[in-house]
Amino acid sequence: DTVNDILGNGPQQIFVERAGKLQLTDITFKDERHLLRIIDKIVSAVGRRVDESNPYVDARLADGSRFNAMVPPIAVDGSLVSIRKFKKDKLGIDDLVKFGAFTEEMAAYLQAAVATRLNVIVSGGTGSGKTTTLNALSSFIDNAERILTIEDTAELQLQQVHVGRMESRPPNVEGKGEVSPRDCLKNALRMRPDRIIVGETRGEEVIDMLQAMNTGHDGSMTTIHANSARDGVSRLENMIAMAGIEMPIKAVRSQIASAVNLIVQASRLQDGSRRMTSITEITGMEGDVISMQEIFRYQRVGLTPDNKIIGHFTATGVRSHFSERFRMWGYDLPPSIYEPTTM
């Protein structure tokens, strides 16, 4: 139960991740054929296949864990296997506050943001806890709302009553039958959603996601890979360009500025701990630039002798741009939550 990830580099080297740290195990396979047989057994059980003509595979196991494998000739020293294990107990906001991922003030602010239907993007690197954060944030959504989720591999566990889950799929052996996240998104818009949650935006579906956020599906959420809020906006711009849409940069930015209200940055620090390092609001456009203001941040102070990070969460002293909206929806946050704190 303590293992989060299982990572195999060929038949002789199997690593596991515990508490954010990688450890080499004494488990080995007999040889490459033994490992390939196991991989084949796992993926064929979920209707996927992996061989020389299709050397990589992404699959979801019965317990919800995410399985990824890459086989020779692409994997040089033997098959590469990565399993992201699925936690049986869902981590709620209270658990994350208890573990020090963020503070109660930040939780109160996020509750107001989600309940008043701001569009939220959770950004961060691989393994920084984006999906966990998205799951926790979704607990603030009202039970009366209809939510549709779109993912590559279904990982989100929403606690609401009214949830429709969709999963994209790769092409089959003949190269037909592919259903992209963009196809799912277009279809979702015809299914009367109150909110749309896209597990991860990484390609041309970004334009449909922004359109949905801009056209009355307030309170939608997604995750992206980025190092900071400003980087996250640049990634959105790049993804729109990659989708082959010819739009002037100012039009792209105004689309982003009116669609996205909040960027929550999740980071995995060097000691293996995961923190919500920044909560940033997008307040509009100033000329050609998207204007942003940071509301909360994680302030790093130093390191202990055993390489644990010393730091604390603090408000930046900037009052939320959406304070009036919160008040009108019945979330009157005390001014004290925006006051900076010292360690």
Q: State the pLDDT at residue 343.
A: 67
Which pLDDT tens digit goes with each residue over 101-123? 889 999 999 999 999 999 999 99
Parallel, antiparallel, or unpaired for β 262-268 and 120-124?
Answer: parallel
Chain segment 72-100, per-residue pLDDT in tens: 889 988 999 999 887 767 778 888 888 88
| Contact (Cβ atoms closer than 8 angstroms) between residue 103 and residue 312 | no
pTM of the model: 0.84
CB 202 within 8 A of CB 225: yes
Beta bridge partners of residue 21, listed in sequence order:
18
SS3 15: strand
Separation of alpha carbons 107 and 263, rounded Å: 14
Q: Angle of helix 104-115 relative to helix 130-138, nearest 10 degrees?
A: 60
Closest CA to 118 of 333, 289, 329, 303: 329
Task: Provide the residue type at 297 as one letter.
Answer: R
Query: Rounded to an integer, what distance in angstroms lies between the CA atom of residue 3 and that of residue 14?
Result: 13
Secondary structure class of 256 (helix, strand, coil): helix
Each residue's pLDDT tens digit, 270-311 = 888 889 999 999 999 999 999 999 999 999 988 888 888 889
**Cα–Cα–Cα angle for 327, 330, 331, rounded to 5 degrees:** 70
- Cβ proximity of 35 and 11 under 8 Å: yes
| Structural element, H or E, at residue 3 | strand 3-9
Q: What is the pLDDT of residue 331?
A: 92
In one letter, which amino acid is 261? N
Average pLDDT, the chain: 89
Q: Which residues pair with 174 in a beta bridge?
A: none
- Using the CB atoms, write b or e for 173-196: b if 16+ within 10 Å: eeeeeeebbbbbbeebbeeebbbb
**Beta strand 3-9 with 80-84: parallel, antiparallel or unpaired?**
antiparallel
Cα–chain center distance at 298: 19
pLDDT value for 265: 95
- pLDDT range class, residue 15, cuts 50, 70, 90: very high
Asked if 291 contacts 78 with a C-beta cutoff of 8 angstroms, the reply is no
Share of the chain above pLDDT 70, in %: 99
* Rounded (5°) CA angle 285-290-296: 115
